[in-house]
Structure 1
Amino acid sequence: MRVAKRPHGGSQGNANVVRTSNFMRKALSGSSALQALALMGAGVGLAATVVPASAQDYSQVSATGRVRGTNGEPIAGASVAVTSNDQGFTRTVTTNSDGTYRVTALPQGNYTFTISAAGFDTFTDNAVVLSQGSAANQFTLAATGATASDEIVVTAGRIRTVDFDRNTTGTVLNVADTAARVPVARDITSVILLTPGAVSGDNRFGSLPAINGASVSENVYYVNGLNITQFRNGLGAVPIPFDFYQTVETKTGGISAEFGRFTGGMFNATTKSGSNEFHGGVTFNWAPDDLRSDTRNTYAADNDASFSDRKEFIAQLSGPIIKDHLFFYGLYNSRSVTNKSGATGTVSATGTGINGCATNPTFCGTSEDLASFNQAIVGTSYLIDRNSSPFYGGKIDAVIVDGQRLEATYFNTSATTVRDIFGTSTYSLASGQRYNLNTNEAGGYVSSTVLRSGGENYVGRYTGTFTDWLTLSAAYGVNKNRETTESSTPELASVNDLRNGGNASIGNVTGNNNVAFDKRTFYRADADLNFRLLGSHHIRFGYDREDLNLRNFITANGGFQYELNTAAGTAATIDPVVGLPGGTQYVKARTFVSGGEFDSRNVAFYAQDSWQLFGDRLQLNLGIRNDKFENKNAAGVTFYKAKDQWSPRLGFSADPMGDGLTKVYGSFSRYYLPVAANTNVRLAGSELDYDTYYRLSGLGPNNIPVLGGAITGGSGLEPCPGGTPAGTACVVRNDGSVPDTASVVASNLKPQSLDEIVLGFERRVGSRIKFGAYYTQTDLNDSLEDAALDQAIIPYCVSQGKTAASCRAIWNGVHQYALINPGRDVSVTLSDPLPGETALRTVTLSGAALGYPQAERKYRSMTFTFDREFDGKWDLHANYTYAKLVGNIEGGIRSDNAQTDAGLTTAFDLPALVNGTYGYLPNDRRHNFKAYGSYRFADWLTLGANGVLASPRRYGCFGRAPANADFDSVAVGGLAGRFYGAAAAYCNVSGGDIIRDPNFAVVNDSFNRVGGVRPSTLQVVKRATALKSDWLAQLDLDAQIQLPTEGYSAFLRLSVFNVFNSKQELRYSEIGTTSAGAPLPTYSLPTQYNPGRSARIQLGVNF
């Protein structure tokens, strides 16, 4: 095995056809030529539409447009009858004085439009597709008895126009249509990543989409109006099978007031529905391991031992229960998924004994980049995951009478994965039962872990249209999800060995048993009003509420999480972490127990007016949203309540040419993000979390450390909860009590928010092609982070006449933390009375005294799009985004260290942890090219392609902060380094180079205070200045063959991903020191490559 060297820096046919009953031409010139060009073309199907999108709510659309005569004059009072081809209902409206019409609250689908007016021939088009991305049309009626002239005469027709009803950027995809022609992975994330500018986030978070510079935890996901976002930390949503979706809309900017609770992107999906015809089908998908190329190995993953085999069987059936009134759709998805993976770690290459590589070389690997540091690679575990849990779901639609409908959706995402664990470091190398990275033999069985996820979800919706000007709707739903981890060996603890520069897991690979249950209940009511007053108005307003319940219980397996360390420095110096001579081996035993039940509530009111002026040439979108958030602690006491968070959503769209084919648009929007429920657990829950230090006296069975004497008296140690061990022997983060809410949350705390500006244009050419460009700017206003307050409390305490020593005896630098807006003043109740007092004080600490800079995140981008929609022959969608993303905070989660504690990352815990963190953020991609499309060579053969080219991600170096980085280094001795280890933007630097040699003589100025202070070798390495990944370049290809059948359709399809088997280096180890400050030889080594080539085979039969 080798590790790479240190890196170098829908539908088809006539779906959207322009229909004319008489079309004659003699000669074309000027605007007449342009108009004629716009009217030409055959049918178009919708695979993907780069918007401005036009979704009117979560699952329905408004059909809008104009009716004109052959001379371009508006026709007032025309009847526009819209009949569903799928479900048979009809809605009828009349046009306004300017010839415009609007039909609200229509399900997406295929419709017949019948246009009639006095003095004009009736026109009927039975192939109008209404979707979230295309619902605007212009109809031309011919006067009764009119005759053709030598000029162009259109006696009746329809053209698709640009939709001026919304100014939202993003995409809308018909999933079934896209899946039929374009190679894309069968998950919603892959569909979303087709959107211009969307960036794939860190793979440790599941490569979720990052939108407009936001972190991957700031998105929101909806299905048929049900919020299915994982609300603990915002990372993704409950998984739903690809075939259950009808459309997926990605909203990236200019989003109306109806939608909120996100500062990233909004992903709005609808499911399939039944119709008046019975339809069904079965599909078999197989992604075999034999058609998959291995990804390159890293020092932490033996990828050539990986195995992946996925088989799926999907059955679907839909149709009428009562024709024109009651319809059903159902899906059953059985799965058989097996994944195998080998994990590795680094150890000394010259070690001897039962676990030494010199004694047992057949179990150790070489690495050119690690060999010079006396490091070898050894197997640490082999995992086999199996999942055979089915998914099932369905939808019922009821049309009581025309204009009155009910919908009900149900799906169950419950799944169980059994993970069998082999060959861990509980077996010695000499036993022959350790995982062998050279032969890929799994080794001896160790234990099993059961991973349970998902749950039941359901949503019901009523929509009633009472007049042309009034529509009411209401919805109720429940989203359930669980995430539990249960080890079959809960008596064994996890052990991480960091001695001598190594980094290997040698104990239980499952650190904690985690039981978590989440439930979201929502209520919603909306109203649509249409009227004319100084133009045409469509006012939509409503209310929605989410009640969130979270139950969480976490205990460490074996009672502890062990970390084996070597005290930093030489034998002549003292490590201030534990007060030991350098080179001494010791154990850090972490005790972690957390649990409780927590509630949150999110409430919002909104109003949005779409105001058309000047004969439909200008539309103003004027919206306002008011969000309210409330979070409670484990005792049911509200610890955070945000009232009246007003969000203006202001936009415009203009038709400068007056032909409905060119659109100029812009918007200003503000968005708010609720406090993640994970904050309830970690900040306001009952959590026992502390470290105890012992001398290491060897390893016992299962590599559980044999604890020597307790280490007491270190400069950063304090009494332990419960008093054991005696004396000052612990680093205490939480003592198990429910904290006073007034002391852990700033009373003037504001929720996270950002402001956004979008400016763009769009031009449609004919009915198939459109292109556009838009500029996006987002600026973070406030972020929420937990932060230490001691550095400001100590001076306040002294200013009240107390001695510095008595103040520091309470606030030792890491005593009181609170949730704050970094950079702003903090009003908070002190955790303890001042020395000599008995009452708690409430104080305001200035932002300057706290020493934290303003949380910043600035995103600027320019996006260019081109779309040629499918016409039964070919389609092409291409886009390019140039973007810059800079700041000192990524968002709720942190890619630097894969931390998922939303709002509670280490980002602003101490001022020293912020030093050097301003720069290009992890989701910055300067250039992002995407293109996908398909070509039908024959009725039986269609080829598709999907390609992406993205510029590199930049990396810095994170390690232990030196003592002089802290606010009070002389008195306290280095808070950030002692309490946070390798979490700051500091690494060992010599001669301008970042040092990786673990034998390097580290100099930390706190080691040598007697006789003067030497400059520390731990120096700031600014964010994103040390490394660059490779460019990501990938091409996927697809071929589908229609099989010769009668009475039903059948197809065979092959999708090949990463055709050229490109294996770029995409992520590196960014941790440059051990927690004690010694250099890590694994720094800068690749930890992620682009996955190798893989393939998927599909066989389907439909009727």
Structure 2
Amino acid sequence: MSRFPIVCIVLAASSASIAQSTTTGAISGRVVDAGSKEPLVGLTVTIQNEAGGDPQTTFTDSDGGYKITELVPGTYSVTFVDDTASVKKTGIRVGANDNVPVFQAMKRGDVIVLEGKAPQLKLSKTDLSIKIDKDFLLHMPLTGRTVESAAGTKAGVHNDGVGLAFSGSTALENRFLVDGIDITGLTLGNVGTPVLNNFVEEIEVLSGGYNAEWGRAIGGIVNIVTKTGTNKFQGGIFATYAPGFLAAGRQTTPANASSIDVVGDRAYSADFGVELGGPIIKDRLWFYAGLAPQFGRTDFTRVTRSQTDCRQLLPNGQLSDCDPRLITQGGHADANPDVDPVTGFFITDEIDRDVRASTSRGLSSIAKLNLAVSADHQAQLSAIVVPGQSRSPGLFGLPSSGQRSNSLTWDTAARWTSKLDDAKLELEAVLAWHHSQLRTGALDAALDAQPRQVLRNGNLATWSALGGESALTASGCTDGFGTNDRFPAVTNCPMETVPYVIGGPGAVAHDSEDRRSARFSVTRRARLVGTHEFKAGIDIDDNSKVAARLFSGGAFIENFVGPGVIDVTRWVALAPMTNGPTTDPRFDRTCTTPSTDGSAGGGEASFMCDYLPGTVGAPGTEVSGQTIDWSVYLRDSWQPVSNLTLNAGVRYEEQRLRYAEELRNKEDPLTGNRLGKTAMNLENNWAPRLGVVWDPTKVGESKVWASYGRFFEAIPMDINDRSFGGEVSYRQTFSGGGGACGPTDAAIGGPNGAGCVDTTAMADAQQLIGSSGVLVAPGIKAQYLDEIVTGAQFQLAPDLMLGITFQKRWLGRVIEDVSTDGAQTYVIANPGEWSADEERKLNARIMAASDPAVRERLQNELELYKGIRGFDKPVRDYASLELAISKRLSKGLFVQASYTFSRTEGNFPGSVSYDNGQLDPNISSQYDLIELLANRRGRLPQDRPHSMKVDAYYTFDLGKRDLMTVGARLRAVSGIPRNALGAHYLYGPDESFLLPRGQFGRTELEHSADIKLSYGRKLSRGMMAELYVDVFNLMNQQGTFDVDATYAPAVRRAFPGQGGGTSNNVNPISGGTYSDLIFAKAIDGQGVETSTPTARNPNFQRTASRYAPASAQVGFRLTF
């Protein structure tokens, strides 16, 4: 065999994701004569998976072009053969959703074998994406065991405390797929199924610029491909163990101490597993399977504390020594608890401590079959099953007030692909099912029948008699002269701001969700002024959910022991409206609430209702919701010349959100409207996608591109549960002194609230929450985001790539619930806009109405809808500039690094309400009241201007049998904006922006380093054993994750008997500055400003949570 000079050039192929699917890739290119550069027509091209299986063969067309698709992720060889020459290139890595371009210039008479490498530049792709392969997952120190821990490697992606936030969006705006199955959680939009890294072949992470095949996400897309069996039996055994003693001590965060402090520390986290794949019928049928149990325990150290009264503030600003004698006796006790002059916190002494543990168990399992009827017709069946359970004790209360949970998710799919007409026509069909369920209850099942009772405004000395505290705590908290009380002039263990929980588990989950999906696509290649690849497809999701509406014991109790007030809240169902009284015996009670009709003097409204019991399956306790999503798309990828690709596509989407089955075809007793099947139909959602890619060098060593796209949100089903499920609760308020709830319980210090649940006594006040119903603004339109991406990439060497990218994203329209009548009625709408055409239509209905009651109702609705225009339009603008460099694995070295400068500004963070912690996509409190919109414009919580990420590993060859690998991750990211928040009299804590966003700057820059050391030894041919250790946060940088932004807490913290436990609400200071805060005044229960200054939270702007301390885990792998 002779060797001759070869010219190997990488040229652009058609499109990033055309003619290959989310789980497979393609190889394409062009073959020319090395001398004349003329195309070689009819040349045979054969592609072979180096792991085995049938080869796939095609012939070059009239331009010398070829393409072979439906290649499972792996390493391939490409062989070019004609009558006189043969060239074989090996080592071509193909990933999912990849189109790897391989160009060959051939010289007659050549017979050679070359080691090839897939090009780093994906010359026809306009998306912002990275590929994470199984080698990366093995060699990098990843802080978690599932896919999310790796997907955060992508530039522009951050952990926002809920999950992965992409390019200015929130963690609830993404889409997750595994083997073509959509595993996004239906309720909130988070990750629905945890996928273990050990079972993963490849992860594709897209943060923008994606084409028409992709939709239902305005954040990012994570596309996971699991491992597949081949003609070789391959597998392994693995285990990891992270003990608590390998973690540094957690740095404390200052807090205004209550009588109970709790700190959680990991006791251990462990998993072990096995995986195996191989042939069932060689070259035809393969399998892959894996199984991995997981275990974990967290120890919560619970410390009880007492206040002190033995110090005085000295003239120099320091505290005196402790002298518990009364001032009249020459000591320092003055009947006021001691306060630290530096922090403003009460000084406390530790009484006792104990440890309460939570435990978790889980199992990750996967099974997969691949069938090749022929090289052109293939099928796949896959299933992932993940059961789990946990037990968590009560911490601020009785241990028995904790909760047990059991969960189960499974995902299964069937996929078929066919190539017809000499592979010019391709078909793909997928059927998939995602299922998830959650069951929760009390640690002791007997407590499922007891209401949960939250005690407030009391003291731990009294509540110790309930049996949850040690004898030492009971003694140390006992007050009064003549006892062992060191500080008899003060209350030792007040519980004014922290509740004490007894009884059952409270809200009980008995939920399940299902997504049944179907997808079909057709791809056609043709030549017309260059090459075209047309792709059209349709996908349909039938989403359903059954949610429980349950309180243990049928009620939830808040017992304000100090003032002697007890609130009992329960779920209720209101009788549907009829021409006369309902005849359904279920509705045998009357629920009364303040009237919301706006009539002078207020008044009350009454409804026939049913108190929903806490029994699973009882009438009215299960709410069945449904949403139908469907979309179609069409696009063309056109190459008029070999170094230019033009992509044009359009995607059409619809989403139909339906009322709960129990409400359909009934008249809403709250709004008077007759409810049909569909609550909200979001249609006419056209999403254009345009892109252009140009290679100036014409030899595949550069890429300049730009794209534009519109992306629509897929609304999660939380809105189905709450807004379209008839969610109504009934709160009754009793004065404990009136005897309605029974006599005083010595262990509580007042009546036991459980006595109020079944009392026949009249409540002092009652209110239906949700009693105004929910309206949907006529003509409402879907939420969407627009995006522009442009960039350039250069291949400086065969393994080295440098790139620069600019990304701009902005929300064009938002769906949120608003109230235009002071929280009496809620309307799901597009804040800041309502169609004039819809107004004319509603006016016409009003004029045509003959029934005065109907006319009045419609007129009232018209005024509500017109009020939508008075709200500020939601704004979220994101812009970033990214620099990236990567060194592909070569000679044992892999490096990937990026720096991103970005800005995220506006008045609407998105589906996560970071400021108050609410997770209710599209129905959050952010737009409920127009008066709360003040000061919300500014740097949003996602604003992290500077972000640097470096990932690298290197493998040292220590001889014929031994290897050592060192992996490292470096991270540095700007802190988050700091705000000043206060409580609102209707909506509670942290709803008022006292000052404009970002008034207090931002938290400090956070940086960390993680490292992995592994040693491997080859035991025999094809078998290797490996030991490794991962060290996280190597420098133990426990920086600030979040600060306490609460300036005015909902409950005033003061000395016992001096206003502690009273409300502390405040209105925004529009456009104010820090100096204005001292003038803020509290507002009363009717929203009227008083003369009382707002009480300041002593922990304001101090660290509220920190990043995890340094820790380590050890692991073992045996592969064969």
Q: Residue 1038 of structure 1 contacts residue 1056 of structure 1 at CA under 8 Å; is this kept in 2? A: yes
Deviations 1:868-893 (A, max 9, x none): 01114211110010000011111112
Partner letter of residue 1083 of structure 1? Answer: F
Q: 1:236 maps to which residue?
A: 191
Q: Residue 754 of structure 1 contacts residue 779 of structure 1 at CA under 8 Å; is this kept in 2? A: yes
Matches within 5 A, 1:431-450: 445-450=399-404
Partner letter of residue 1003 of structure 2? Answer: S
Identity of aligned residues (%): 21
1:721 and 1:669 map into 2 onto residues whose CA distance is 58
Q: 1:814 aligns with which of 799, 820, 823?
A: 823
2:987 and 2:378 map into 1 onto residues whose CA distance is 57
Q: 2:373 maps to which residue?
A: 400
Q: 1:579 maps to which residue?
A: none
Tell me if 1:413 matches 2:386.
Answer: yes
Q: 2:1070 maps to which residue?
A: none
Q: Secondary structure at the match of 1:1059?
A: coil
**1:903 Cα offset (Å):** 1.2
Partner letter of residue 327 of structure 1? Answer: W
1:680 and 1:380 map into 2 onto residues whose CA distance is 44
Matches within 5 A, 1:1007-1086: 1020-1026=994-1000, 1028-1047=1002-1021, 1048-1075=1023-1050, 1076=1063, 1077=1065, 1078-1086=1095-1103
Q: 2:722 aligns with which of 682, 695, 715?
A: 682
Tell me if 1:889 matches 2:908.
Answer: yes
Q: Residue 655 of structure 1 contacts residue 663 of structure 1 at CA under 8 Å; is this kept in 2? A: yes
Q: 1:88 aligns with which of 29, 46, 53?
A: 53
Partner letter of residue 465 of structure 1? Answer: K
**Is the alpha carbon distance of 1:721 and 1:71 closer, same or farther for their aligned partners in structure 2, counting shifts above 3 Å?**
farther
Q: Residue 93 of structure 2 contacts residue 117 of structure 2 at CA under 8 Å; is this kept in 1? A: no
Deviations 1:762-788 (A, max 9, x none): 111332111101100001011111111
Q: 2:1083 maps to which residue?
A: none
Q: 2:751 maps to which residue?
A: 706
1:160 and 1:758 map into 2 onto residues whose CA distance is 22
Which stretch shows the higher mean deviation, 931-940 or 904-913? 931-940
Deviations 1:23-81 (A, max 9, x none): 59xxxxxxxxxx99x89xxxxxxxxxxx9899942101121223233247142423221
Q: 1:985 maps to which residue?
A: 992
Q: Residue 346 of structure 1 contacts residue 503 of structure 1 at CA under 8 Å; is this kept in 2? A: no
Q: 1:956 maps to which residue?
A: 979
Q: 2:100 maps to which residue?
A: 136
**1:649 Cα offset (Å):** 1.0
Q: 1:247 maps to which residue?
A: 202
Matches within 5 A, 1:700-849: 700=745, 703=748, 706=751, 725=762, 729-735=765-771, 739=773, 744-790=775-821, 813-825=822-834, 837-839=853-855, 840-841=857-858, 843=862
**Is the alpha carbon distance of 1:1044 and 1:161 closer, same or farther for their aligned partners in structure 2, counting shifts above 3 Å?**
closer
**1:385 Cα offset (Å):** 2.2
Tell me if 1:272 matches 2:227.
Answer: yes
Q: Residue 22 of structure 2 contacts residue 96 of structure 2 at CA under 8 Å; is this kept in 1? A: no
Q: Secondary structure at the match of 2:150?
A: helix
Deviations 1:57-111 (A, max 9, x none): 2101121223233247142423221122224222222334443322222211121
Q: 1:937 aligns with which of 956, 966, 981?
A: 956
Partner letter of residue 969 of structure 2? Answer: N
Q: Secondary structure at the match of 1:647?
A: strand
Tell me if 1:619 matches 2:645.
Answer: yes
Tell me if 1:167 matches 2:126.
Answer: yes
Unaligned runs of 5+ in 2: 311-323, 326-332, 459-493, 573-620, 665-676, 738-742, 1051-1062, 1066-1094
Partner letter of residue 111 of structure 1? Answer: Y
**1:674 Cα offset (Å):** 1.9
Deviations 1:838-863 (A, max 9, x none): 44316375666652100110000001
Q: 1:571 maps to which residue?
A: none
**1:182 Cα offset (Å):** 4.6
Partner letter of residue 979 of structure 1? Answer: L
Q: 2:890 maps to which residue?
A: 871
Deviations 1:690-721 (A, max 9, x none): 4444446698477596379999xxxxxxxx99
**Is the alpha carbon distance of 1:240 and 1:844 closer, same or farther for their aligned partners in structure 2, counting shifts above 3 Å?**
same
**Is the alpha carbon distance of 1:64 and 1:703 closer, same or farther for their aligned partners in structure 2, counting shifts above 3 Å?**
farther
Q: 1:921 aligns with which of 937, 940, 944?
A: 940
2:354 and 2:817 map into 1 onto residues whose CA distance is 35
**1:585 Cα offset (Å):** 6.7
TM-score (normalizing by structure 1):
0.78
Matches within 5 A, 1:57-76: 57-71=21-35, 73-76=37-40
1:646 and 1:332 map into 2 onto residues whose CA distance is 43
The aligned length equals 922
Deviations 1:476-507 (A, max 9, x none): 01111113321233314242637899431311
Tell me if 1:663 matches 2:703.
Answer: yes
Partner letter of residue 99 of structure 1? Answer: G
2:908 and 2:692 map into 1 onto residues whose CA distance is 32
Q: Secondary structure at the match of 1:1045?
A: strand
Q: 1:529 aligns with which of 508, 514, 524?
A: 524
Deviations 1:188-225 (A, max 9, x none): 111111001111112xx2xx111111111000000011
Q: Residue 959 of structure 1 contacts residue 1072 of structure 1 at CA under 8 Å; is this kept in 2? A: yes
Deviations 1:772-814 (A, max 9, x none): 0110000101111111132xxxxxxxxxxxxxxxxxxxxxx32
Deviations 1:403-437 (A, max 9, x none): 1100010111121112234x6434xxxxxxxxxxx
**1:324 Cα offset (Å):** 0.3
1:394 and 1:220 map into 2 onto residues whose CA distance is 23
Q: Secondary structure at the match of 2:985?
A: helix
2:284 and 2:89 map into 1 onto residues whose CA distance is 23
Q: Residue 16 of structure 2 contacts residue 99 of structure 2 at CA under 8 Å; is this kept in 1? A: no
Q: 1:262 aligns with which of 217, 222, 244?
A: 217
Q: Residue 695 of structure 1 contacts residue 708 of structure 1 at CA under 8 Å; is this kept in 2? A: no
Q: 2:538 maps to which residue?
A: 543
Q: 2:344 maps to which residue?
A: 372
Q: 2:297 aligns with which of 316, 322, 338?
A: 338
1:492 and 1:749 map into 2 onto residues whose CA distance is 40
Q: Residue 31 of structure 2 contacts residue 106 of structure 2 at CA under 8 Å; is this kept in 1? A: no
2:781 and 2:759 map into 1 onto residues whose CA distance is 36
Q: Residue 906 of structure 1 contacts residue 913 of structure 1 at CA under 8 Å; is this kept in 2? A: no
1:99 and 1:451 map into 2 onto residues whose CA distance is 61
Q: Residue 951 of structure 1 contacts residue 1030 of structure 1 at CA under 8 Å; is this kept in 2? A: yes
Q: Secondary structure at the match of 1:748?
A: coil
Q: 1:601 aligns with which of 628, 640, 653?
A: 628
TM-score (normalizing by structure 2):
0.76
Q: Residue 238 of structure 1 contacts residue 454 of structure 1 at CA under 8 Å; is this kept in 2? A: no
Q: 2:690 maps to which residue?
A: 650
2:116 and 2:274 map into 1 onto residues whose CA distance is 40
Q: Residue 22 of structure 1 contacts residue 154 of structure 1 at CA under 8 Å; is this kept in 2? A: no
**Is the alpha carbon distance of 1:305 and 1:234 closer, same or farther for their aligned partners in structure 2, counting shifts above 3 Å?**
closer
2:415 and 2:727 map into 1 onto residues whose CA distance is 40
Matches within 5 A, 1:435-584: 445-466=399-420, 467-487=422-442, 488=444, 489-490=447-448, 491-495=450-454, 497=456, 502-508=496-502, 510-563=505-558
**Is the alpha carbon distance of 1:245 and 1:836 closer, same or farther for their aligned partners in structure 2, counting shifts above 3 Å?**
same
2:356 and 2:38 map into 1 onto residues whose CA distance is 69
Q: Residue 140 of structure 1 contacts residue 154 of structure 1 at CA under 8 Å; is this kept in 2? A: no
Deviations 1:150-176 (A, max 9, x none): xxx999977736322321112111034
Q: Residue 58 of structure 1 contacts residue 268 of structure 1 at CA under 8 Å; is this kept in 2? A: yes
Partner letter of residue 907 of structure 2? Answer: N
